[in-house]
Structure 1
Amino acid sequence: MSKTISFRQEIRDFFVFLRKPRLSPRLAQQDLGHGWHTDWTNGLGVKRILQWAALLWLINMTVFGPLAASVATSSGAQHKLDFTNIPWKQAIIWAPLIEEMVFRYVLRRPSQFLWVLPVTIWCLFNGPQTITVSLLLVVVVLLYFRPSVGGDKRSLFTAVALGKAWPRRWYKIYARHFGWVFYGSTILFATLHLYNFKFNQINLWMLPLLILPQFFTGLVLAWLRVRRGIGASIILHAVFNSGPLLLIMTIVSLMPEAAL
């Protein structure tokens, strides 16, 4: 069993990682298995997940959130969220799963992008319908059980549906330019959240300021995906989303006039 590093050490590793994103070995954690299964197993524990969630809530509430709110107020941008009808299932279950699969899964599994990205992007833009939820679950099951499907046989199903490792030469090229992929995926993730606003007129330079909370949160989630696994980033994403929603639901239930 590997020695688990402290939360302070993880924070230090996060900021070091931001200076030069790399496909380095995972952080020390419990030995939860090997290969593809480990990617989905959350080795952080409840305490560490809550520590990261609390840090993100604190930074977003005290720094990036107020700045984004100030920009929204000054530009007349309005949030589309209906406080009297909060889609909590979509925010806590659907969004973390689909957004992590679209924007962060292939960061460490680039050989999967030819089939994972088209399928998950289609699910993302079609929303949490029965067919998209079912399809997404099928994708997750296929990816989780990949080591036990196909075996040593080079079947068409294994090659096309589940993908194979890239040739070493191509993987080296990907690793060399990984920083661009890391930051590019995070920018796209944050930009997606502009859809949450209604605009009248706004200067283009103000748009990035509106999504600073999502950008910073996306950096942490992308780092966690690379250094821990996709399971850890999905769980943290879900816990992070639950905090503001629970706060809003509590305020609305205690002060219904605040939602008007």
Structure 2
Amino acid sequence: MAERPTLRREVRQFLSFVRRPRLAPRPAGRRAADGFWQDWFPAVSLGRLLQWALLMWAVNLLFLGPIAVMAAGLGGATHRLNLHNIPWLTALLWAPLVEELVFRYGLRRVKNLWWLLPPAVAAMLSGPGLAGGLLVAAFMAACWLPYGAYRPLARNPLPWSIRRRYVRAFPWAFHLASVAFSAVHLYNFNLAQTPAWLLPLLVLPQWVTGMVLGWQRVRHGIGAAIVLHAIFNGGPLLLVWLVLQAAPDLAL
């Protein structure tokens, strides 16, 4: 059984991946099981994902967060978060699931991207309501029904010529997905008259977070990206909630 790499080694692997994004290799010791199943239920420990979340929180708190706060102050942007109504369900379930389906599921499932991406985008734009929930359910059914009922069809790979072209284009796909993910989070702000050159700084934490989530998706699977996304979202909200419980006047 292959020894699990340390977090420090994984950080080096991530930095190398960001410089040169590739679809291979997968982690050593990956089980010879069905790839579709492992995509949703990868062999990565919850403890390791929590370590990555802690690292991302530290980087955002010490480096990226202050830059975003400075940019917001210079441009007059304010965050839309309502301290009296913390969106737990959206942050812990809806956003991790839908955003990962939109921005990172297709990184390794490009064959189905053209017909799976539209309902995922529509669900994200609809929000966590009835319509959005039905669209997510349709997406999940489209993913899983072929796997259960028509398994040979689900395993049918892309032609080699298309696969080669995608491998060459993958670095662009990875980085464009990370940029698009961060850009969507501009909606979290009331931008006022914020100049365009400050907008990337507002979502700098989301850009770096998106690259980490993309690496997790490519290396381990979509399930790892969804769980890490949920953990990452939950930590700051929990901290805000605890602070407000101790000092409720801060929400006034």
Please classify the TM superposition score into its range, dividing by the shorter chain length.
over 0.9
Asked if 1:181 is matched to 2:173, the reply is yes
Matched residue, 2:208:
216
Asked if 1:147 is matched to 2:147, the reply is yes
SS at match of 2:229: helix
Residue 139 of structure 1 deviates from its aligned partner by: 2.4
Question: Could you tell me which amino acid in structure 2 is paired with residue 213 of structure 1?
Answer: P
Structure 2, gaps ≥5 residues long: none
The aligned runs of 1:42-57 (5 Å cut-off) are 42-57=42-57
Question: Could you tell me which amino acid in structure 1 is paired with residue 108 of structure 2?
Answer: R
Counterparts of 2:100 and 2:8, CA distance in 1: 25
**Residues 186 and 219 in structure 1, CA contact (< 8 A), matched pair in contact too:** yes
Query: Deviation per CA, 1:166-221, whole angstroms, max 9, x where unpaired?
Result: 21101100110111110001000000000011122122111000000000000000
Residue 243 of structure 1 deviates from its aligned partner by: 0.3
Question: Could you tell me which amino acid in structure 2 is paired with residue 183 of structure 1?
Answer: H
Q: Residues 151, 194 of structure 1: CA spacing in aligned structure 2 closer, same or farther, 3 A cutoff?
A: closer
Counterparts of 1:93 and 1:66, CA distance in 2: 27
User: Which portions of structure 1, spanning 4 or more consecutive aligned residues, are displaced by more than 6 angstroms?
Assistant: none
Query: Deviation per CA, 1:46-73, whole angstroms, max 9, x where unpaired?
Result: 2101100000000000000011001101
Matched residue, 2:113:
113
Q: 1:205 aligns with which of 151, 176, 197?
A: 197
Percent same amino acid among aligned pairs? Answer: 41
Structure 1, gaps ≥5 residues long: 153-157
Q: What value does the CA root-mean-square deviation take over the aligned residues?
A: 1.7
SS at match of 2:194: coil
Q: Residues 29, 90 of structure 1: CA spacing in aligned structure 2 closer, same or farther, 3 A cutoff?
A: farther
Residue 133 of structure 1 deviates from its aligned partner by: 1.7
Matched residue, 2:104:
104
Question: Could you tell me which amino acid in structure 2 is paired with residue 25 of structure 1?
Answer: P
Return the TM-score normalized by structure 2. 0.94
Q: 1:243 aligns with which of 229, 232, 235?
A: 235
Question: Could you tell me which amino acid in structure 2 is paired with residue 139 of structure 1?
Answer: F
Matched residue, 1:36:
36
Return the TM-score normalized by structure 1. 0.91
